[in-house]
């Protein structure tokens, strides 16, 4: 049976931190493939300005170029309605036969999991994986992990990743302040940001 993981995000922009998480997940979980899933209409960001979906998709595509175990999906981008994780997992479980689906997210999302739609369905339809994030204490993550597992009678996998302290927000702020960001993103992504004058 194949093991594939969905790694979702706004990817606004896609950066080296995302690649770091993907590589570490491949090694630590023995995955056959990582599917990057740029969000289309994320319900939790409906009040924020998000870069055009096609441009975000293009950034991910260019950022993973040449990586045989990395793919990118347009499933959520192509949806006209809000993108809910439980629907995405249902879709991939029906599409990917003889495949174990993992869903990878950060400690910040674990802390807010009770706000997600149909949490029980999410946890039943994947192996739910949480990685540490800068600013989060290990003991707090473990406590929340235990609470969620007990509430939904499920098992959550925690992976301790040597993190690159990079965020899309930080990159956008640096661009606004005319600071250099080429060392934070893949070369091709940097080219797209410059060509389209993003985040200025």
Q: Which two tokens stand for residue 25?
A: 């997940």
Q: Is residue 98 part of a domain?
A: yes
**What pLDDT was estimated at residue 40?**
85
Q: State the DSSP code for 37.
A: E
Is residue 200 assigned to a domain? no
Q: Is residue 51 part of a domain?
A: yes
Report pLDDT for 84.
Answer: 92
pLDDT at residue 42, as a whole number: 61
Q: What is the DSSP letter of 199?
A: T
pTM of the prediction? 0.93
Helices 53-63 and 187-195, axial angle in degrees (round to 10): 150
Task: List pLDDT tens digits, range 70-129.
Answer: 999 999 999 988 889 999 999 999 999 899 999 999 999 999 999 999 999 999 999 999
Would you say residue 110 lies in a domain? yes
Number of domains in the chain: 1
Task: Report the pLDDT value the prediction gives residue 45, as an integer from 0 to 100.
Answer: 56
pLDDT above 90 (res 46): no
- Asked if 181 contacts 175 with a C-beta cutoff of 8 angstroms, the reply is yes
> What is the CATH number for 120?
3.40.50.620
Beta bridge mates, 33: 4
Select from 107, 100, 101, 125 the least CA-distant residue to 37: 101
Whole domain around residue 42: which residue ranges? Answer: 2-164
C-alpha 121/C-alpha 131 separation (Å) is 21
Sort 200 into a burial class: Cβ within 10 Å, 0-12 / 13-18 / 19+. Answer: exposed
Residue among 108, 170, 167 nearest 137 (CA): 108
Reported as a single tens digit per residue, the pLDDT across 143-191 is 999 999 999 999 999 999 988 889 999 999 999 999 999 999 999 999 9
User: Model confidence at 41, in pLDDT bands (50, 70, 90)?
Assistant: low
Position 62 pLDDT exceeds 70: yes
Are 107 and 141 spatial neighbours (Cβ–Cβ below 8 Å)?
A: yes
pLDDT score for 195: 97
Q: Average of pLDDT values for 17-41?
A: 95
- Answer whether residue 81 is part of any domain: yes
Position 171 in a domain: no
């Amino acid at each position: 049976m194949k093991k594939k993981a969905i790694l979702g995000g706004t990817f606004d922009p896609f950066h080296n931190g995302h690649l770091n998480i993907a590589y570490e997940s491949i090694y630590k979980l023995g995955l056959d493939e990582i599917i990057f899933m740029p969000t289309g209409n994320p319900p939790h960001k409906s009040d924020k300005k998000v870069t055009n979906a096609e441009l975000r998709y293009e950034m991910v595509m260019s950022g993973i170029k040449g990586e045989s175990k990395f793919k990118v999906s347009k499933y959520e981008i192509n949806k006209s309605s809000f993108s809910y994780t439980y629907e995405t997992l249902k879709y991939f479980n029906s599409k990917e036969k003889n495949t174990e689906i993992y869903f990878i997210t950060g400690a910040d999302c674990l802390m807010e999991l009770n706000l997600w739609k149909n949490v029980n369905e999410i946890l039943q339809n994947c192996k739910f994986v949480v990685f540490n994030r800068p600013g989060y204490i290990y003991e707090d993550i473990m406590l929340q992990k235990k609470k969620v597992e007990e509430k939904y009678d499920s098992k959550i996998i925690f992976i301790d990743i040597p993190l690159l302290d990079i965020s899309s927000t930080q990159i956008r702020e640096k661009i606004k302040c005319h600071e250099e960001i080429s060392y934070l993103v893949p070369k091709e992504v940097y080219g797209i940001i410059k060509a389209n004058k993003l985040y200025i």
